Amino acid sequence: MSLARRPTLHDVAALAEVSHQTVSRFLRSDPTVGAATGQRVRAAIDELGYRPNLMARAMRTRSTGVVAIILPGWTGPERTVAAASEEAQRHGYRVEIVIGMNELPESLSTVAAELLASGQVDGVLSVTPLMITPDSGGVVVQTEEYDDRLRAVEAVVADAETMIEIVRRLADLGHRELFHAAGPPDWRSAQLRRAGYLEACERFGLRSHGEFAGPWHPDTGVRAVESLPDDSPVTAVVAASDHIAVGVMHAAFRRGWRVPDDLSVTGWDDLTLVRYGTPALSTVRVDRETSGRHGMRRLIAAIRGEPEPDPPTAAPTEIVFRDTTVPPRRPVP
C-alpha cells in the first residue's frame, strides 16, 4: 500500500484492520493490546512508514512527545544511543541528541536542567553521570550509571565482579605486578572498576603499583604510563576503558616497552577499532544495545507514570582476551 500524502493513524488502523483507538493504545504501549494485534499494528506502521503527529499530540496532551539523550563530548557510546533512539521512536517519541562540550557532571547537569526548564522535552536520558535531584523538575533517567532515585542499571552492576575476573585471569597467566589506569573518580563505573581491581589484587596476593585516574581519554593512559619509573616492575596495566588503553599502548611504545612482550594491557568497551589494531586489544564487551533500550524504556515509563520495566536478564559484560595479554616475559628488575 502506498500513499502520496503522509500516512495517518487512521491509515494504520485500516491496514491493520483495527480501530484507530487500538492503534493509539499500541503507540502508548498499553498492555491491553494483544500480542497478535500488536504485531499487525507494528507491521502496518512499518509498511506505511507512519510517524505520530507530535505537534497535534502536544496540543492535545500538553506533552511534547520529545525526549533528549545527553552524552559527553567526543566519546559518546554510539551503540547505546542508537538503541535508545530506536526504542524511543518505537514508542512514538522524537529524539534530540545533546552532546556536551565536556564530560564534567556539573556542566552536563546544567545542560539537562536547562532542557527540562525549557519545556521542549518530556524527559532526559543521560549516558553520563548527572547531579540533578528529583526536585529539579522533569524526568531524568541515567543509564550506564547508578541512579539513586531508581535502582542500579544493569550495565554497571557487574563492573566490580568483571574487573575481579580480569585480574584473576592475569594472575593465572603469571602476572604479579599490576597498575591501574582508571577513569574519572566521580563516575560510578570508574569507581566500581577501581574497587574491583583493588579487591582482586588483595584477594589473589598481587602487588598494585598504584592507580592513575583521569578522563575517558587516551591522554589519561599516556600520563598513567609516564608516571611509572623506568625500572618499574609492572608487567600488566589494567585500563578502565579502551580509549585509556590506547593511550597506555601509545605511551608504552614511546618508552620502548613492547606490548605485549614487555607489558600486557587490557581495556573496557570493545570498541570496533581496537579489535583491528595491531596488536588487538584485550577488553570487556558490554551489551550497550540492551542498556540503551532498557534506559529508554525506564524513561518513557517514568514520563507516563507507569511501573518501571523489569531489568534485562542477559549478562551485561563478556571478557575478551586478545593479543595484548600474554604471560609476563619482561624480567622483573
250 plus 308 within the same structural domain: no
Q: Which pLDDT score is estimated for 254?
A: 96
Q: Which pLDDT score is estimated for 138?
A: 63
103 plus 66 within the same structural domain: yes
173 plus 264 within the same structural domain: yes
Q: Which pLDDT score is estimated for 129?
A: 65
The CATH number linked to 275 is 3.40.50.2300
**What are the residue ranges in the chain where pLDDT is below 70?**
1-5, 28-29, 51-65, 68-78, 98-106, 128-138, 142-157, 314-315, 330-333
Q: Report yes or no on 42 lying in a domain.
A: yes
209 plus 109 within the same structural domain: no
Q: Which pLDDT score is estimated for 131?
A: 65
132 plus 174 within the same structural domain: no
Q: Report yes or no on 164 lying in a domain.
A: yes
What predicted TM-score, i.e. pTM, was given to this entire model?
0.62
Burial class (CB in 10 A: 0-12, 13-18, 19+), 301: middle
Cell of 20: 484507530
Q: Which pLDDT score is estimated for 277?
A: 86
Q: Which pLDDT score is estimated for 85?
A: 82
Give the domain extent around 297: 55-151+288-314
Q: Report yes or no on 320 lying in a domain.
A: no
The number of domains in the chain is 3
The CATH number linked to 40 is 1.10.260.40
- Check: CB of residue 83 under 8 Å from CB of residue 293: yes
- Check: CB of residue 294 under 8 Å from CB of residue 302: no
Q: Report yes or no on 203 lying in a domain.
A: yes
Indicate if the alpha-carbon torsion angle 150, 156, 160, 161 is positive or negative: positive
How far apart, in whole angstroms, are the C-alpha atoms of residue 71 and residue 53?
A: 27
